[in-house]
């Protein structure tokens, strides 16, 4: 059986998501746990949907692997592994399923209002990035195809933060943080809007700054199927959530999102309007 699991984590507890030899990472910790508890049928079939930098958190990342164990047993065991990780959704998938081939990814960045001020001006700047562009100036990736399509960027206000929601099929390494960093510089008068236009048109090469990682959340990775959430896992995670969270804005957002997804009245996770926002 090939199993896909939706999960979240506090990025401040890990040195990024991708496996590294001498650092504690999201993938490394999960894979080590699965191997030590004989929960994998094939180690090389373990895959993760999206990679995140150190400090970047997630509410809806996805892993997939082959196993012969019962689904609820696996999720129950995974949720004892760390207070900084939460495994809640599951789906049995095709043997060839690769979680990286998603229909849509949704990231959320919390940008302090005092760094930008005017919301309309911020929306105008971010609007320059929507659509299909070559984001070579907005990534740390080298030697790869840097053309991507941003479906849309929504801007809203939550207390002392602008909430920036990015939607697209795939994102480059550091792409969102560089977009936000460039927008911050324009709002501060360090760059003009023409600088961004020229960078997107590949008329210039510029090393844009990267916004801080701790305010970025991978909110969801979406496919053409839904993830189920069992009542047993709901009860287990609700107890875990109550003892884990503090008052930081990102932790509060993850807590709010997890509580909603666990109390969602839809039969499948992510199928109601609040889940899709």
Q: How far apart are CA 161 and CA 215, in angstroms?
A: 10
Q: How far apart are CA 187 and CA 184, in angstroms?
A: 5
For 3, counting Cβ atoms within 10 Å of its Cβ (0-12 exposed, 13-18 middle, 19+ buried), the class is: buried
Dihedral of CA 227/229/214/250: which sign? positive
Which residues lie below 8 Å from residue 159, measured CB to CB, with a gap of 6+?
none
SS3 for 108? strand
**What six digits make up the tokens of 268?**
């499948």
Q: How far apart are CA 101 and CA 78, in angstroms?
A: 24
DSSP-derived letter for residue 107 is E
Q: How far apart are CA 91 and CA 7, in angstroms?
A: 12
The yes-or-no answer on residue 53 being catalytic is: yes
Cβ contact 176:216 at 8 Å = yes
Annotated catalytic sites, by residue? 53
């Amino acid at each position: 059986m090939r199993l896909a699991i939706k999960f979240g984590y506090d990025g401040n507890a890990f040195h990024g998501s991708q496996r590294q030899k001498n650092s504690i990472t999201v993938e490394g910790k999960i894979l080590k746990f699965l191997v030590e508890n004989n929960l994998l049928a094939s180690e090389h079939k373990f895959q993760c949907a999206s990679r995140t930098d150190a400090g970047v958190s997630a509410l809806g990342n996805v892993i997939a692997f082959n196993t012969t164990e019962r689904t609820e047993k696996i999720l129950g065991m995974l949720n004892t592994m760390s207070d900084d990780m939460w495994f809640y959704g599951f789906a049995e998938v095709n043997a060839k399923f690769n979680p990286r081939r998603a229909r849509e990814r949704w990231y959320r960045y919390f940008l302090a209002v005092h760094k930008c001020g005017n919301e309309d001006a911020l929306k105008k700047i971010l609007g320059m990035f929507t659509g299909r562009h070559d984001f070579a100036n907005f990534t740390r990736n080298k030697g790869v195809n840097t053309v991507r399509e941003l479906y849309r960027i929504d801007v809203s206000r939550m207390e002392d933060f602008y909430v920036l929601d990015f939607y697209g099929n795939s994102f480059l390494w550091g792409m969102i943080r560089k977009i936000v960093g460039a927008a911050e510089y324009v709002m501060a008068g360090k760059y003009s809007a023409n600088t961004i236009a020229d960078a997107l048109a590949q008329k210039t090469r510029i090393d844009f700054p990267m916004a801080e990682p701790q305010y970025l959340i991978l909110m969801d990775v979406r496919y053409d199927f839904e993830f189920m959430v069992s009542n047993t896992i709901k009860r287990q995670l609700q107890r875990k959530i109550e003892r884990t969270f503090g008052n930081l804005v990102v932790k509060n957002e993850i807590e709010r999102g997890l509580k909603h997804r666990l109390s969602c009245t839809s039969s499948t996770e992510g199928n109601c309007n609040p889940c899709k926002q």
